[in-house]
Structure formats: C-alpha cells, structure tokens
Chains A and B, each alone.
Chain A
Amino acid sequence: MIAEIVTTLIFLTSLWLIFSEKLNRTIVGMAGAVLMVGLGKLLHFYDEAEAIAAIDFNTLGLLLGMMILVALLEPTGFFQFLAVWAGRFSRGRPVWLLVLLGTVTTLVSMFLDNVTTVVLIAPVTILICEILGISPIPYLMAEALLSDTGGVATLVGDPPNVLIASAAGLSFNDFLTHSLPIVLVVWLVALGLLRYLFRHELALRPPNIDAVLKLNPAESLEDWKTARRVLIVLAGAILVFFLGEALELSPAFVAMGAAAAALVWVRPNLQETLRSVEWSVLLFFTALFVMVGGLDAAGVLNRVVSTLDWLNGIPPVWFGIILLWLVAGLSAVVDNVPITIAFIPVIQGLGARGMDVHLLWWALAFGAGFGGNGTIIGSTANIVVATLSERTRTPITSKLWNKRGLPVMLATCTVASILYILAYGLVFR
C-alpha cells in the first residue's frame, strides 16, 4: 500500500512539475525515474533490472533513427525550399498560401518529426508574410494545427503513435488502414474551419505580391546532393515500413537501418549531426518508461484497472469515445507523451482482463493527437510557433489560441468521434 501511494505521488508530482513548467521536463523525468527506482529498492517492489526491462527500446530506436535522418536533412535547406516554393507558387494569394503551407507542413510531418518541420518552415513563413505585408498568425497557427492533426495518420507521424504501435503491436499498415482515412477527413475539416475562422485576415489582398514572385526556391536549397541522398533513403525506409509486416522487421530496425544507410552515403561531420538529435526527448521518454514501470511494479496500474471493471459492460466503441475525449482533454493541458505512456499499461491491463481493447488504441491515438490543438501549450509545435511569433510585430497570445485553436480541437475531436463510431462500430467490427 505504501509503495502504491509513494509511486503515485512521484508520478503525479512529476506530471504537475512538467505541466507547470517549473522545471525542464527531462530533468523532472530523470529525477522522478531515479526516485522511483531508489524507493523501489528500499521497499522491495522495483529494481534496476526491472527498470531497464520497462524501457521500450523499440520506441527509442524508431525515434533515434528518424531524428538522425532529420538531422541530416536539416542543414541542406530542404525545409526552407519547400516553404519558399509554397510561397512562390501561391503567388501571394492568402488562401492559397494557407493551403499550400499547411499541406506541405502536414505531408512532411507525417513522416518526419513535426516539431523540426515547424521549427524550420515557420521562420520562412514569417518572412513571406512580412514581405507581403500581412500578419503571419493564420499561417503559423495553420502549420501547427494541421501538422499535429496530420501526424496522427501514420505510425511515425507523432511520438504517441510510436508508443501505441510498439505497445499494441500495430504495424505501419495498420495506421494506413485504420487511422489515415479518418485523419484525412478530420484534416480537411480542420483546414476548412481555419479558412472560416481566419476569413477576415485571408480576405485582405496583400500589398506587396511582386516581391514574393521574386523569391527563388532553388537558391534556398543549400545542398541538393545531400538532400537527394537523404530523401532517397527516406523513401526507401517508408517503402520498407510498408512491407515491414511481411518482412517481419520492427519499425525501430527499419529506422535505424535507414539512419545507418544515410550516414554511410552522406558521411557527414558526425559530431554536428548528432548535436541536432534531440537527446533530451529520448532521455525524457526513457525516464517516463522507468517511472511508469515503477507504477506498474507497485501495483498502481493494476488497481486502476480493477476499479475500471464496471466499464466492461459498456460497448467498446462508446468506451473508446469516452477515452478519446478524456485523453484529448488531458493532452490539451499536459504534454501528450506522459499521458500516452500512462494510459498504455492501463489499456494493456484491461486487455489482460478480457476486455476487447483493439478499438481503444485508436481512441488513445486520436485523443492524444487532436487534443494538443486545444491550447497554446497543448503541443510542442504550438509552443514553437507561438514563441517564434513573439519575434514578429504580431505575437500569438494564449487568448487568441483559445479563440482559433480550441474550436479546431473541438471540431477535430467531434468529427473523429463520429467517424470512430461509424468506422469501428460498423466497418471494423
């Protein structure tokens, strides 16, 4: 009992510290993980070997492999090239610019880390808007909201999907068949809603269209040779992800294989490439695995699962809808990674007790993915565009996000719920 109380306290305090931003989340995670193992040893419910066993190396390998590919692609100017191309192709027409920038950011972030994508595309977006003499707010918000939404479509699109796929044994193709069609509709709804919410800003004719026509996308691509090599490897990796199930290859193996192939082909300055890998994210994930492993070992998750026994009577689809909204609500105010990592063992526990949890995994993925759209701190991409906008004349405020982002979250979750009921209640029964 003491172990249960202590581990719950450690986990909730860590979540609160992460949420309140009083401390860096990786520092919180590391301290929490060490505390969990220390107390586990003291009270004899958890030790180092169990902590290491709790770490999901499949998730870490997949994330690391993809991060190395992004680190190689980043200095080539490929991301700037895409944004400049979108600006040039839009010919300065606001609606086109919104659709093109939103689409490009989404397509890239379906396969590569969406935070890096937004970090690299947003400055060029601001540049294009400044040149045109219009406010960058609609475009920045569209990039964050649409890339977060689109990322739910694929296994590698966002970290919660990687976690869920690894825990539930879902393949790349499972996401293409179960998630992509729903996300496609939800994404279009989000785009349409953004178009409506920003209709006044998008109706203005920019005063300086000529200047945008003088942008030269080719000049923004610094190193085409390296970009081409990394893109070929990336395309190969996506193909192997696709065939991975038949070839019995884990996504982590494919990602690390692609990273190794790209490193051999490009032969970059390795120190510099590895500097761009987000080690703090990998460390944060590792620490969370160890913490949740502690909660599990102390019997907390089992107790949570047993208190949920009454839910067994609810049809799985409706349970899924409750879970989707619960996770979405939590993800809007807290980082969706700890939420996902905490919910995974609970769903696994429910599955072990005989509940049909197949549908719940998708509810978790949709909730974690779309929930982040709700607030300015809901996802890292939101924080990135808001922070970048502070370096312009028109910063994005929390109040503005609640007026324009929250409706997008509510609409995406509502549409996802309807499609979830239709698809999983009828089609995938």
Chain B
Amino acid sequence: MIKNCMKRNVFSIPSTATIRQAAALVVERHIGLVPVVDPQGKLIGVVRLGDLLSLELPDFFNLLPDLDFVHDFGAVETTRPSPEELDCPVTKLVQPVMFVEETCGPLRAYALMVKHNLHDLPVVSEDGALVGIASRVDIGAAILSAWKMVEPSQP
C-alpha cells in the first residue's frame, strides 16, 4: 500500500497564501509540488513548480516548435514578475489535483502518475485530509523492493 512508502512530512500552504509565499516554500524546502489545503487540512489543489515558473517563462514558448536557434534569451532572462503578480492569492495558480487514498496499491499509483504525467502524488486519508506525498522514486523503489522476494532462477 502507498502509505508504506510515502513521505509523511508534507509541506503545504493554506489557500489564503500568496504566490510569493508558495515560491518561498519551494525554495526553502526544495520541493516540486506545493499542496494547498483548507483550514481543516483538506486538500483542495496543488501548485506545481512549472505553474510558478510560467510567470517568468511566458506561455507563448509552447507555440514554438523548437528553440534550437535561440542562443541567448536576452531580456527574457532578466524579466521578473511584477510585485502585484507575486502578491496575488496562490489560488490563481491552483490546479485541480490527482490524488489517491492511503490504501491505494503502489502499481496503481505509479500507473496513474504515468498516465497524468505527474512527478509527485498527494495521498489523503479516508476523510480527505492530506497525510502524505509520494514521488515516482518512492513508489518505484517500493515496487522494485518486492523483487528481492523472487527466488533466483535455478541454473
């Protein structure tokens, strides 16, 4: 079960936080996914590292088929989001989240992550409270650890 391999020490922010606070948490804890919770600790969404970075790297880059011919990003490198943008409520960037319950099997969790292109998967208790988070490596290692039970083949 996923509860056996997830990290229980989860850093989250309240829905009243600002984008600036979410970014500060990413920098401080070196995490790629910030869960956003309501006052009861219930998971209401997530802010991904990419969503925060999109404030600096505008969306139109996705329209260019490739960037090989750009050897210097020029002014793009030094343009920062405005103070108004950074002090917006983080809910502006919150994405609906894919999560699983503690009892979810690791292979199902891994398949969901691959399907939805996720790097981290929040785990909630039966009543919806955020209790942990599992990365692809956490889940993948848990799956592979079962392989040591497989007897070596006889020569």
Contact = CB atoms under 8 A, between A and B. Distances in A.
A208 B63 contact: no
Contacts, number: 72
A292 interface: no
B71 to A, nearest CB: 4
Contact of B75 (A80, A124, A130, A214): A130
B100 to A, nearest CB: 33
B71 A130 contact: no
Interface in A184-214: 206-208, 210-212, 214
Given A133-B79, A222-B65, A211 B60 contact: no
A123 B64 CA distance: 6
B66 interface: yes
Contacts of A131: 70, 72-76
A127 B64 contact: yes
Given A130-B58, A391-B58, A392-B60, A216 B75 contact: no
B76 A124 contact: no
Contact of A392 (B58, B64, B68, B71): B58
Interface of A, secondary structure class, is helix
A215 B70 contact: yes
Interface in A67-90: 75, 77, 80, 84
A219 interface: yes
Contact of A214 (B61, B72, B76, B79): B72
Interface of A: 75, 77, 80, 84, 123-124, 126-127, 130-133, 206-208, 210-212, 214-220, 222, 388, 391-393
10 contacts: A84-B69, A123-B63, A127-B60, A131-B73, A211-B72, A212-B74, A214-B72, A217-B69, A220-B69, A388-B60
Given A131-B70, A133-B75, A393-B79, 11 more contacts: A126-B60, A130-B58, A131-B76, A215-B69, A215-B71, A218-B69, A219-B69, A220-B66, A220-B69, A388-B60, A391-B63
